[in-house]
Amino acid sequence: MKLNITIEGTSYIADLSSPIDLSIPMSGDSSNPIAWNLEKPKIDPVQMGEWVGKVSEGASVNFNTITFNPHAHGTHTECLGHISSEFISVNDILKKYFFSALVITVNPKQTGNDLIITKDCIEEQLKGTVPEALIIRTKPNERAKRSKNYNKSNWPYIQEKAALFIREIGVDHVLIDTPSVDKEEDDGKLLAHKAFWNYPDAPRIHSTITEMIYVPDQVKDGHYLLSLQMAPFHNDASPSRPVLYKLMESV
């Protein structure tokens, strides 16, 4: 199945038969990535007296309870409600699910003990284009990102100036392969979050940030169609599944 779309005046054909899933599936074991000093999520069968919700233990169905934190346990999409005093649900603000997207690969700049994604680095990769969604893959791109314990790792983060640039050129959605666009320990400043959402001056309530994705090496930098799928939780953030579709220029 194919879909005709236009991006910045150029016509493309999106191949919907070959989706590229950027999400990290959640599991209840050590293969699950974790961050923010939490332990792995729990996926356990319900127990009611002697009854255990597990077919292998005699039940007619598998009946699990899942305990997790969307920010710490895998790919998630968050909204302004993540940093605002008022409750804002990501399920309420995300009502469009397909976006023009640009994948870029960045080499964070070593500054002291930090690895910083700078404005210059992002601007160089964009080459003047302004996608609706910007997908940032950081180097090195080890597959271990899919199961990494990020606690106390001081992951790469987006410079405040870079987040401001992304906002000012009109990017509405940012996706990144780290647990946060901000530094792991920043004393609660959340400079990149606030710069991107323009909070509290003139909040961009329609914009989202998706974190803890994984972009395989075989996915080349360039333009794609993004389907941003999300579980319908009334919360500031929800587990999500960003899916890319390759584009071919229409002739």
Cα 48 to Cα 60, 62, 75, 236: the distances in Å are 14, 13, 32, 32
Give yes or no for residue 248 having a pLDDT over 90: no
Is 8 a residue whose pLDDT tops 80?
Answer: no
Express each pLDDT in 32-65 by its tens digit.
999 999 999 999 999 999 999 999 999 999 999 9
What mean pLDDT is reported for the chain? 96
Integer Cα distance of 232 and 92 in angstroms: 9
Kindly give the pairing relationship between strand 133-138 and strand 47-48.
Answer: unpaired
Q: What does 144-190 look like in DSSP terms, one character per residue?
A: GGGT-B-TT----EE-HHHHHHHHHHT--EEEESSS-SS-SSSTT--
What domains can you pick out in the chain, each with its CATH number?
2-25+74-249 (3.50.30.50)
Q: What is the Cα Rg of the chain in Å?
A: 19
What whole-number distance in Å separates Cα of residue 5 and Cα of residue 131?
Answer: 13
Q: Give the three-state DSSP class for 138.
A: strand
The answer, yes or no, to whether residue 251 has pLDDT greater than 70, is: no
φ, ψ dihedrals at 17, nearest 5°: -85, -10
Residue 6 has pLDDT above 90, yes or no: no
pTM across the whole model: 0.96
Residues 59-71 have pLDDT tens digits of 999 999 999 999 9
The first and second tokens of residue 246, run together, are: 């390759």
Give exposure, 79-101, as e/b (b: 16+ Cβ within 10 Å). bbbbbeeeebbbbeebeeebbbb
Helix (H) or strand (E) holding 80: none
pLDDT of amino acid 11: 87
Question: How far is C-alpha 129 from the geometric centre of its chain's CA atoms?
Answer: 21
Name the 3-class secondary structure at 119.
Answer: helix
Identify residue 27 by its one-letter amino acid code.
S
